[in-house]
Chain A
Amino acid sequence: MAEKLPASLEKLNTEEYLLNMGPQHPSTHGVLRIILKLDGEVIKDVVPVMGYIHRGMEKMFENRKYDQIIPFTDRTDYLSAVNNNFAYVIGVEKLLGVVVPERAEYLRVILAELNRIMSHLLWLSAYGMDVGAFTPLLYIFREREEIIAMFELITGNRLTHNAFRLGGFKYDVPKTFFEKLEKFISHFADNLDEYETLLINNVIFKSRTVGVGVITKALALSYGVSGPSLRGSDIKMDVRRDTPYSAYSKFVFEIPTGKNGDTWDRCEVRMNEMRQSLSILQQAMQGFPQGDIMAKIPKIIKPPAGEVYTAVEGPRGEVGFYIISDGTEKPYRVKMRVPSFSNLSALKDMTVGFKIADVVAIMGSLDLVIPEIDR
């Protein structure tokens, strides 16, 4: 359609039109609005509109004490509450100069990896829904429910755990937790294989994902895409390996990567990541040390003036907290670096030229959590 049509035929040309996808749409996973410019089914332009659930988290942080901020971090990315806690807590501990006991570090790793599996499972089930397969969701929710029950044992909450405290944990682990964990590890790998056969290796699924939403290495890096979405583009990026935090340097694990940076690669990376998390869980459970669960920290937390940026590898990518302390009880400024924010910014380069159905598939493969973007 490149050549100019004569004026008399101009009216016969297909019309490009704008379509709102969201804020209330079944597959935007939250209150995200995407304005699509379409020619028939083919996408010509994508404009994400955000901020529908902007809560001013960063402003709120400035008005809360250091230990009060932890429950708020749960609520930015509600699917990986523990990893958000993690990033914030190690930041403040760095400022305070607190050394966390090993037992607490191990428990943190266990919780973080469980949380990663939990988040990926939800992604897998939601992704099944996105591409039109409803059934995997209900199978996957069995396993997810098991993990939630484990979290409930330790923290008492099912989704927004508020699990970590500055310096470790408030309460020690109940014995039943490890029994459950062992049971979970024993059957999870098999179930994962089953889901892979049911969904990921399905020929229809492959036809919808292979070669769709390709993002090149250089572009992904430039966009600051992180986590599985970046690893899908064949970059061995993992905060757990690049800048090891907590006890991660003690565990052996691989970093799965994709080859082409398409949607299927991102899916496969997540599936393999769950297997790696499972192996970390096994190692952590075997080497779980005795000792204290809480470091000695002052009653009133006043970190010395300074600033720190700490990041952890969340399920969606690099979750970072940039904390500036001015020596008072409350932080001077907290900036959250959220993975979905950068991942979503690359959406336009991934989707243009594909179809409506692909937008859903691509957005699903980025595993967006909207409250995290809006903060």
Chain B
Amino acid sequence: MLKYIKDIITGAITLLEGMAITFKYMFQKPITLQYPEQKAQMTTRFRGRLVMPVDEEKGDNRCTACNICVKACPNYSIAVERLTDETGKPKPKAASFTYNMGTCMFCNLCVEVCPFSAIVMSEEYELAVYDRKSLIKDLVAEKYKLKGRKGKWWISKFKDEEQV
């Protein structure tokens, strides 16, 4: 009988403790990010989607169609076609860089192996589309311009970060 009463009282205390916590939180500021108006700030290393930024000095992308990224891609999401001159000799330039975002895992392996820093992961994250076909993009034709910072910042973006 005594245990019965004790159980009820200790139980009620744990319940009241919980209620005190929720009551306390009622007067705290909400943590919500009002999405379409406010947007999350992405970090430098954020892996949005693959882009091939235009090098402003060169006036063109830095790709040499060396196929290293194609070999590195675990999902075979990249296909590169080399540009040829009139005689049919291949030039160190990509005619097309087909990137399939539908199969991309955003693993960053292609960016890490690229010896020319031609490709980089952008900070975009609203990548949903209505049509599956528009997930396949030709990055050469896209002529992507990285926003925000100047010049060839992405080439040294990890070195510029403050280290421990």
Q: Is the beta-carbon distance between B14 and A162 smaller than 8 angstroms?
A: no
Question: Which residues of chain A are within 8 angstroms of B72 by Cβ–Cβ distance?
Answer: 67-68
Q: CB distance B21 to A197 under 8 Å?
A: yes
Question: Taking CB as reference atom, which chain A residue is nearest B14?
Answer: A203
Q: Which residues of B lie under 8 Å from residue A175 when comparing CB positions?
A: 161-164
Report whether B74 and A135 are in contact in the complex, using a CB–CB cutoff of 8 Å.
Answer: no
Contact status of A156 and B46, CB under 8 A, knowing A172-B163, A174-B163, A175-B162? yes
- Nearest CB of chain B from residue A39's CB, rounded to whole Å: 29
Q: Is the CB–CB distance between B105 and A71 below 8 Å?
A: yes
Distance in Å from the Cβ of A45 to the closest Cβ of chain B?
Answer: 33
Which A135-164 residues have C-beta < 8 A from chain B? 135, 139, 142, 149, 152-157, 160, 162
B108 / chain A contacts, CB cutoff of 8 Å:
156-157, 162
**Interface residue B22 (Cβ < 8 Å from any Cβ of A):** yes
Task: Kindly identify which residue among A142, A156, A203 contacts B15, using a CB–CB cutoff of 8 Å.
Answer: A203
Q: Is B107 an interface residue (CB 8 A)?
A: yes
**Residues of the B chain whose Cβ atoms lie less than 8 Å from the Cβ of A65:** 74
Contact check, B164 vs A153: say whether CB atoms are below 8 A apart: no
A24 proximity list for chain B (CB < 8 A): none
Chain B 1-55 interface residues, beta-carbon cutoff 8 Å to A: 10-12, 14-15, 17-18, 21-22, 25, 31, 42-47
With A172-B163, A197-B18, A202-B14 as given contacts, are A152 and B112 in contact (CB-CB < 8 Å)? no
Known: A67-B109, A153-B45. A72 touches B74 (CB 8 A): yes
In the bound assembly, the distance between CA atoms of A198 and B161 in angstroms comes to 40
- Pair B22/A71 contact, Cβ less than 8 Å: no
Interface size class of B (residues with CB under 8 A): 20 to 34
Minimum CB distance partner of B48 in chain A? A156
In the complex, chain A residues whose CB is within 8 Å of the CB of B144: none
Contacts of B18 in A (CB 8 A): 197-199, 202
Interface centre among A64, A70, A71, A173 (most CB of B within 10 A): A71
Which A residues lie within 8 Å of B47 (CB)? 156-157
Most chain A CB within a 10 A radius of its CB, from B15, B31, B107, B108: B107
Known contacts A172-B163, A197-B21: A203-B10 contact under CB 8 Å: yes
Compute how far the CA of A78 lies from the CA of B87 in the bound complex, rounded to whole angstroms. Answer: 51
A-B contacts, 19 of them at CB < 8 A, read A65-B74, A67-B109, A72-B105, A135-B22, A139-B25, A149-B43, A152-B42, A155-B45, A160-B106, A162-B107, A174-B45, A175-B161, A175-B164, A197-B14, A198-B17, A198-B18, A199-B18, A201-B17, A203-B14
Question: What's the A-B contact tally at a CB cutoff of 8 Å?
Answer: 88
Tell me, yes or no, whether A52 is within 8 Å of chain B by CB: no
Range, interface on chain A: 35 or more
A45 to B10, CA, bound (A): 36
| A71-B109, A201-B14 known; A171 vs B22 contact (CB < 8 Å) | no
The answer to whether the Cβ of A292 comes within 8 Å of any Cβ in the partner chain is no
How far, in Å, is A242 (CB) from chain B's closest CB? Answer: 31
Residues in B neighbouring A64, C-beta threshold 8 A:
74
Q: Would you list which residues of chain A between 103 and 162 have a CB under 8 Å from chain B?
A: 135, 139, 142, 149, 152-157, 160, 162
**Interchain CB contact under 8 A, B46 and A152:** yes
Contacting residues, chain B, for A171 (C-beta < 8 A): 45, 158
A316 to chain B, nearest CB (A): 22
A117 to chain B, nearest CB (A): 19
Is A204 among interface residues, defined by CB-CB distance under 8 A?
Answer: yes
Minimum-distance CB pairs A-B, first 9: A203-B11, A156-B45, A71-B107, A68-B74, A175-B162, A156-B47, A174-B161, A162-B107, A171-B158
Q: Is A288 an interface residue (CB 8 A)?
A: yes
Identify the closest chain B residue to A207 (Cβ).
Answer: B11
A69 at the B interface (CB under 8 A): yes
Task: List 20 additional A-B contacts (Cβ < 8 Å) besides A72-B105, A157-B47.
Answer: A64-B74, A65-B74, A68-B72, A68-B74, A69-B74, A70-B107, A71-B105, A149-B43, A152-B45, A153-B45, A154-B45, A160-B106, A160-B107, A175-B162, A176-B162, A194-B21, A197-B18, A198-B18, A202-B14, A203-B12
Tell me whether A54 is interfacial, beta carbon within 8 Å.
no
Q: Which residues of B contact A188 (CB under 8 A)?
A: none
Complex alpha-carbon distance, A71 and B109, angstroms = 9
A170–B108 Cα distance when bound, in Å, is 11
* Residue A178 interfacial (CB < 8 Å): yes
CB pair A157 B106 closer than 8 Å: yes
With A69-B74, A72-B74, A172-B163 as contacts: A156 and B109 at CB distance below 8 Å: no
Q: Chain B residues near A194: list those with CB within 8 A.
A: 21
Which residues does chain A contribute within 8 Å of B17, judged by CB atoms?
197-198, 201
Q: Which B residues between 148 and 164 are near A, CB-CB below 8 angstroms?
A: 158, 161-164
In the complex, what residues of B have CB within 8 A of residue A173's CB? 163-164
Give bound CA distance, A251 to B14, whole Å: 35
